[in-house]
Structure 1
Amino acid sequence: MVNIIVELSKYVIIVLMAAYTFSCFSIFTRNYEDEEKKVLIRQDVLMFLLQFAAFGTMYLVTKDIRIIFLYAVLAVILLAVILLYNLIYPNVSRLVVNNMCMLITVGMIMITRLSSDNPSPYGTAVRQLIFAALGIAFGLVVPVLIRKMKFLDQWTYIYAAVGGAALLAVALFAQMSGGAKLGFEIAGINIQPSEFVKIIFVFFVAASLNKSKEFKNIVITTAIAAAHVLILVLSTDLGAALILFVVYLVMLFVATRQWLYAVAGLGAGAAAAVVGYHLFAHIQVRVEAWQDPIGTYSGSGYQVAQSLFAIGTGSWFGTGLFKGQPDTIPVAETDFIFSAITEEMGVIYALCLILICVSCYVMFLNIAMELRNNFYKLIALGLGTCYIFQVFLQIGGVTKFIPSTGMTLPFVSYGGSSMLSTMIMFGIIQGLYIIREDEEEEREKAKLRKEKLRKEKLKKERNRKNGVGRTAPRTTAKSGPRFEEVPRQKPRKKTGTRTK
């Protein structure tokens, strides 16, 4: 009976995921606010139903009451997120909030599944819930800070100094882990400064390019950005180095509209990749595993080969929760969680996950295009590029599309630094969305004032032509003609209806 329920549940979960994904893009076609609200409410219902189906299935398989506890805590946290954002920030993008909650849900389902086989069962899932709660607390504070702090574009070299110092500290003092220096372990928690430096780096580039687009300033900005990338390469944190490089190149091109900079940047990046390949054995190992994971199965290709086996085993509809072997994939909770998801949930479910990430990026670009302030516009573009390129690196690496870079999937993979930094990133985007709403409200008010002045001018012109307000002669029997003041007409009282 349990096997039948597991088999049926995977189809139910796929349908719910597909319906949610469809609504992510259908919302862009809604012209009225009431229709948009209905779609957003439908998304919330689909998300909570998916949670219930997945955690209910896992409980039936394991009979472990701790799964019910994890489900209840997750549902309460996500419900609190949705309600708090509606109460505190009624003007935020509800689609971004829903997508954030859905990605956390997807990650928690698979982390709970994987952590059941750990020496301390479900310890990883509990820690991920704690990270999510802390991230949400930070994410709720960030939008108001972005809206109130009008001087963020003046800290150009402070951003550069803080980011460079954090990366240099890791390169000099961090312990080697998995062939790379990534961060420090404090009280059993691994902190990766590079996750937060990505955000600081975007602020630095936006502030610098907003200040000046002259060639001299671009050379200085490029030199500082190259120093950040070089430190990461020396730490063999190749994924973060690639993200900073691509983010800078995109922001530079959009700010200057100069194809020469883009071509020169791509050429320099290609040359640096060749030099890095010959200098660092770590890079050679990853390229070798990418070229022939089966031939190097007993060595460097083991991770990628296991990832490909898992994806192939899952096929379109997956094996079902607890019916696959995702625990055989190395570091499945972090670097290879996409493979684990694909094995038990199926390729269709995994494609929907990718499309949800893409819908977030589309929303980020939409916000960037509609912002009038150039600094905020570059911030939205840079953070959006940082997010979607990290998704590309993670999924591309586990599917053998590109060499593996060891990146996490934002909100989905296990990790405190990744969860906190991504939550802050989304909080900044929400703050920019509120700023965009403020700008639109100011434009609407300016338009109404302009329309009011135009109507008053037309009225005065009409009164002048009709002679309203002039003196008119009047004769009487006792006296000659005398002039009497004609009273001006009072303006018509407005009803208060806004014109759109």
Structure 2
Amino acid sequence: MVNLYITATKYIQLILIVLYTYCNFRYLTIPDEDDADPLCYWQFRIILLVHFLMNLTVYLKTGEISAVIFYLIQLLFFAIYVFVSKRIYRNINRLLLNNTVFFMAYGLIMLERLDMSKAIKQFIIMVGAAALTLVIPYIIDKVWDLVRWKYVFAAVGILMQGIVLIIGATSYGAKMSISIGGFTFQASELVKITFILAVSGMLSCAESFRDIVYTSLVAGLHMLVLVLCKDLGSALIFFVAYLVILYIATNNWLYLALGNLGMGLAAVFSYFAFSHVRTRVFAWIDPWADIDNKGYQITQSLFAIGTGGFVGLGLFQGLPNKIPIVEKDFIISAISEEMGAITAICITLVCLGCFMQMMVIATYMKDSFYKYVAVGLAIEYIVQVFLTIGGAIKFIPSTGVTLPFVSYGGSSLVSAFIVFAIIQALYIIQGNEDEFDEYEIAEDEQDFGTDIISPKDIFSDVGPGYRGNNVSVEDL
């Protein structure tokens, strides 16, 4: 009977996640947010239903009453998190809010299946991170001019990575974490945010080629320390994000071409300079040649994905624990084996939907600093997703990065919460400003008793640079 339920749930879950993914992209096509709200309500209901079905499977397979209690606590957390977020911030982006809960739900489901103790630990960090980052939009609203702190952000980022270089713990060939009093955190996950804030601030204030060079040196110093720590996955994320911001800030194709050339040369250098990079490249090119050693992790990942097929074997029906570090770098392989390749593809598409929404928010930002911040964080997010999933399916060599919100890891989880909170802050603040502008126009119309035509309306058809009869928009 239990196996019959698992089989039925497998197909129901697939239908639900496909519907959720459809709603995700349908939301992006609706210009009026009020018209899109019903889709968000349906999305949240789908999340809760999938979460219930999967947790019931966990209980039926384990028979532990603690699994039921843990499910109820998660359910309460999701409900409170969404309610409080919408209550505090009226203009919050509900698509990103739903997707945050979506990723957390799937991540916890897989961790419960893999290791209940790690799932509980992840959930505790999740609650703390959610509570702390809930105030970020309020803080950014009050300290709107964050560009003043650009040099502080740069100094903090370089200092943190410098500490890792000196006293950091080595894991899988790279220095990535610091242990203090039994608490371990990966500094590069937090430096990702300070790095974007620093270079965005510098580029938004750049007035000459000299400023561009200086900013590039600061960015290069960040990456140099990461390379010295042998944390090449993070260095690649930083580099791509900076390159995109630099191109947007300067609109110079030469920087983009030189950046791509430099990235290629850096990849060749890394191959010859670091033994663990050669091992990963070897495992990527031909993992079957050394299936019991260098190629073991990637071959087990491919076996899991192939065994699961499109619909999956069902929760607890596969062998995801055969994959080393499955709960971190290869969580998507475990999902694919037991929940199906369709589920893994839908999760990837939802990640892509988050990136698209972040880029849309960036286009709405009037201030160049915050536009660059939104773009930089969006690029970091999608590159990390690409590296994680690409490494798991053998599309690229494994880089040892995690899937935001889904993979196990406190530092990655906190970093993901901060990134989404900053993006939400920009969206909320811009929405508040738009509402205020509309309110002022309505008041003016009421005072004059007629519709007021703004200078922007007059020249909306001819562009902001138009000057007719020697009268500019600014003159009006």
TM-score (norm 2): 0.92
Q: How does 1:334-413 map to 2 (within 5 A)?
A: 334-413=328-407
Equivalent positions of 1:459-470 (< 5 A) are none
| CA drift at 1:446 | 5.7
Distance 1:451 1:258, change over 3 A: farther
Contact 1:138–1:423 (CA under 8 A) maintained in structure 2: no
Comparing 316-325 with 289-298, greater Cα deviation is found at 289-298
Equivalent in 411, 414, 422 of residue 416 of structure 2: 422
| 8 Å Cα contact 1:236/1:282 also seen in 2 | no
Shift of 1:438: 2.5
Q: Paired residue for 1:36? A: 36
SS state at 1:385 partner:
helix
Partner of 1:260: 254
Aligned twin of 1:156: 150
Do residues 219 (structure 1) and 219 (structure 2) align?
Answer: no
Answer yes or no: is the 8 Å Cα contact 1:303–1:330 preserved in 2: yes
Change (3 A) 1:213 1:71: farther
Whether the 8 Å CA contact 2:28–2:357 is kept in 1: the answer is no
Task: Indicate the residue corresponding to 1:84 in structure 2.
Answer: 84
The correspondence for 1:283, drawn from 274, 277, 291, is: 277
CA distance in 1, matches of 2:117, 2:393: 28
SS in 2 for 1:318: coil
Deviation (angstroms), 1:19: 1.0
* Residue aligning to 1:129: 123
Residue in 2 that maps onto 1:5: 5
Structure 1 position 202, deviation (Å): 0.3
Local SS of the residue matching 2:292: coil
- Cα distance in 2 for partners of 1:189, 1:345 equals 33
Find out whether 1:145 has 2:143 as its counterpart: no
| Alpha-carbon distance in 1 for matches of 2:77, 2:48 | 12
The alignment partner of 2:404 has SS state of: coil
Q: Which residue of 2 aligns with 1:103?
A: 103
Residue equivalent to 1:300: 294
Give how far 1:37 is off. Answer: 2.1
Q: Give the residue type in structure 1 aligned to 2:285.
A: Q
* Structure 2, gaps ≥5 residues long: 453-476
Report the AA paired with residue 44 of structure 2: D
Give me the whole-angstrom Cα distance separating, in 1, the residues matched to 2:264 and 2:32.
47
The residue aligned with 2:66 is 66
Relative to 1, partners in 2 of residues 1:457 and 1:175: Cα closer, same or farther, differing over 3 Å?
closer
Q: 1:245, CA displacement in angstroms?
A: 0.3
Mapped to 1, the partners of 2:81 and 2:326 lie a distance apart of 27
Show CA shifts across 1:350-372 (max 9, x none): 11101111111111011100111
Offset at residue 189 of structure 1 (A): 3.6
One-letter identity of the residue aligned with 1:248: Y
Match in the other structure for 1:21: 21
Displacement of 1:32 after TM fit? Answer: 4.6
Measured after TM superposition, the shift of residue 439 of structure 1 is 3.0
Counterpart residue identity of residue 413, structure 1: S
* 1:57 counterpart residue number: 57
**Unaligned regions of 5+ residues in structure 1, if any?**
116-121, 459-500
Distance 1:293 1:299 in 2: 9
**Residues 457 and 404 of structure 1, relative CA distance in 2, 3 Å threshold:** closer
Q: Could you tell me which of 306, 309, 315 is aligned with 1:315? A: 309
Larger Rg: 1
Q: Which amino acid aligns with 2:66?
A: R
Q: Deviations over 1:327-357 (max 9, x none)?
A: 1000011111110110000000111101111
Other structure's SS at 1:184 match: strand
Is the 1:138–1:424 contact (alpha carbons within 8 Å) kept by the matching residues of 2? no
Equivalent residue in structure 2 for 1:172, among 166, 169, 173: 166
Task: Give the deviation of 1:42 after TM superposition.
Answer: 0.8
8 Å contact 1:317–1:348 — kept in the other structure?
A: yes
Instruction: Report if the CA contact (8 A) 1:213-1:256 is conserved.
Output: no
CA–CA distance in 1 between the matches of 2:430 and 2:195? Answer: 22
Alpha-carbon distance in structure 2 between the residues aligned to 1:215 and 1:400: 40
Letter in 2 for 1:281: S
Closer, same or farther: CA 365–106 of 1 in aligned 2, 3 Å: same
- 1:13 partner amino acid: Q
AA of the residue aligned to 1:28: L
1:441 aligns with: 435
Q: Distance in 2 between matches of 1:404 and 1:9?
A: 32
Percent identity over paired residues: 42
C-alpha displacement of 1:443: 3.8
Report SS of the residue matched to 1:262: helix
Partners of 1:21 and 1:356 within 8 A in 2: yes
Cα-to-partner distance string for 1:48-82 (whole Å, 9 max, x where unaligned)? 00011001012112212121122111111111110
Alpha-carbon distance in 2 for matches of 1:446, 1:266: 47
1:388 is paired with a residue whose SS is helix
Shift of 1:455: 7.2
Q: CA deviation at 1:453?
A: 9.0
Partner residue, 1:207: 201
1-structure distance, mates of 2:352, 2:269: 33
The amino acid across from 1:368 in the alignment is A
Q: Distance in 1 between matches of 2:450 and 2:171?
A: 72
From the superposition, tell whether residues 88 and 267 of structure 1 become closer, same or farther in structure 2 (CA, over 3 Å): same
Secondary structure at 1:209 match in 2: helix
Residue deviations 1:137-156 (CA, integer Å, cap 9, x gap): 12211110111102310112
| Cross-structure match for 2:465 | none
